[in-house]
Amino acid sequence: MQKILLINPPYPMEESPSPPFGLMSLAAYLIENNFDVIIEDYIVNPYSPQRIKKVIKDFKPGIIGATGVTMNINRALEILGECRRESPESAIVMGGPHVTFDAQNILAENEFVDFVVRGEGEITSVELFSNLGEPGVYRGIDGISYRENGSVTHNPMRDFIPDINILPYPARHLVQLSKYRALNFPLNMVTSRGCPFECIFCVGSKMVGRRVRYFDVRRVVDEFEMLSTIGTRQINIVDDLFTSHKKRCTAICEEIIGRGLKQDWTAFARVDTVSTDLLEIMKSAGCTTLCFGIESGNQEILDRVKKKITLDKIENAIEMCKRAGIMPMASYIMGLPGETPETVQQTMDFAKKLCSSYGYHILAPFPGTEVREKSDEYGMRILTNNWDKYDANQSVCESIFLAHEEVDRIVNDFNGGINRMIMGELKKYERGESLSPGSLSMVKNIISFDFNMKLINDELVERYEQHEGEGKFFETFVEFVASNLGIEKEAVTTEVRRLIEMGCLTSGEGSRGRLSWSSIQGPIPEQKPA
């Protein structure tokens, strides 16, 4: 059986990453097609060359693949380079949105990368991995790029999967979901693929198609119910547009209600796809928050970026959410084509009056976006191709009407104000001052997050497993953590008890005094007989 190692490269924690859905979906389809797959997730496991060497030595993969978005593509390449040095005979493959639209440069500049899988990866990967070592077959595999006779070859794009219900549930059992839960990150799921819109700053419709393809309602709610049993804080439905099909969205909500499921969840929506009756049934089904990409408070800019919404529709949708009891969250992009000091101020004024939960990002013209491919037409200057800077928190381009330094200043001032508020509440807590219930909850979450990050990054649970204490396993683990982190035992006790109560850590009673991260498993894809 062919062994495949899939790698999820490091990603900034401040971006609240979720479990690697694309890799889990790919892994499930590979398993169903009789491949042996593991996932190395460097979001919740610290990466080191020593770790990847040990994984390769122990697992001996014939294929090593990595995903990557623009902001972590360099880290992905760095890790794959280490993989090539450790396992020169393994095939090295990359997939994901960045390499889909930058395949030429990825292959031309990185000799250790053998193949790029473009677009939807499941069927393409199975075809490729089943025919490795047969160069004559590669020409007939749609959706791949590779080297041939010293030059890079790009086969035609593969058609999108017509019926996505052929895909198994994501292989969540290959990822340590307990660590994501410990960090208070939500679990994610999708109910469809596709986006019918063509916003110039997004590659969504190019990656998954303009025609929306849906998972069956019963399958969706089966998966939702399974995730709800894990004990997660919330489930994020991360479709490009969950509310695009009102009748189906309503049917999903009715099925959740009919089964009596009590689970908070969130979703993404467009302001022109919600209505009072839809929002009311979503609220009844457990929806707590809807995230809207508003982008700008200036109508001309909205039209220019092909958002195809109006300021009136935005205001109406937000008011409907408030009346339904669903919290609206609004996201804005600064530095869009045509941005001027006046439009920036309009957006900031609009954001303040629209709703209390909002934030700003800075335009990042990712490979494959129309704003990058037609930057001159849109009056945009690309300032750098250093992908590490494409985190949407700093300018990598600018409008000819507005200097990038001004955009950076505005967003940094806004984010700095939030950070100062948080630090102020933390200091009040440390001084023993009373806080509002909301502030107290926020402070406790921050304290827990920092503790759990240290627990994960220093691999204290894994290291402690090598110390098979006898008797009072809990007390000895607390002492071990407290001495390693320099934190008072009382504070460590509180946090460790919380993790055990949440089911993130499994206590060691009856197993020689050990603690370990819980193995939280969803449906495991069935393997076809060899």
Instruction: Establish if 437 belongs to a structural domain.
Output: no
Instruction: Establish if 159 belongs to a structural domain.
Output: no
The reply to whether 131 and 223 lie within a common domain is no
The reply to whether 382 and 493 lie within a common domain is no
Instruction: Establish if 179 belongs to a structural domain.
Output: no
Close Cβ partners of 360 (under 8 Å, ≥ 6 residues apart): 332, 333, 334, 351, 410, 411, 414, 415
Residue finishing a domain among 385, 402, 419: 402
The reply to whether 120 and 217 lie within a common domain is no
Spans of the chain below 50 pLDDT: 469-470, 510-511, 526-530
The reply to whether 393 and 462 lie within a common domain is no
The reply to whether 353 and 283 lie within a common domain is yes
For residue 131, the model assigns a pLDDT of: 96
The reply to whether 336 and 201 lie within a common domain is yes
The reply to whether 397 and 472 lie within a common domain is no
For residue 230, the model assigns a pLDDT of: 87
Residue finishing a domain among 377, 402, 427: 402
The reply to whether 147 and 233 lie within a common domain is no
Q: Which two tokens stand for residue 66?
A: 């990595």
The reply to whether 113 and 195 lie within a common domain is no
Residue finishing a domain among 130, 154, 178: 154
Q: Which of 273, 271, 227 is nearest to 249 (CA)?
A: 273
Instruction: Establish if 433 belongs to a structural domain.
Output: no
DSSP assignments along 470-505, one per residue: -S-HHHHHHHHHHHHHT--HHHHHHHHHHHHHHTSE
The reply to whether 480 and 372 lie within a common domain is no
DSSP assignments along 359-397, one per residue: EEEE----TT-HHHHTTTTTTEEE----GGG-SSSS-SE
Domain count, the chain: 3
Instruction: Establish if 373 belongs to a structural domain.
Output: yes
Q: Which two tokens stand for residue 416?
A: 């700095």
The reply to whether 206 and 250 lie within a common domain is yes
The reply to whether 49 and 107 lie within a common domain is yes
Close Cβ partners of 483 (under 8 Å, ≥ 6 residues apart): none
Instruction: Establish if 453 belongs to a structural domain.
Output: no
Instruction: Establish if 51 belongs to a structural domain.
Output: yes
Instruction: Establish if 446 belongs to a structural domain.
Output: no
CA-based radius of gyration for the chain: 24
For residue 519, the model assigns a pLDDT of: 82
Are 220 and 164 in contact by the 8 Å Cβ rule? The answer is no
| Boundaries of domain holding 507 | 458-517
The CATH code of the domain that includes 329 is 3.20.20.70
Record the pTM.
0.93
Ramachandran quadrant class, 338 (left: phi over 0; alpha: psi -120 to 50; beta: rest): left
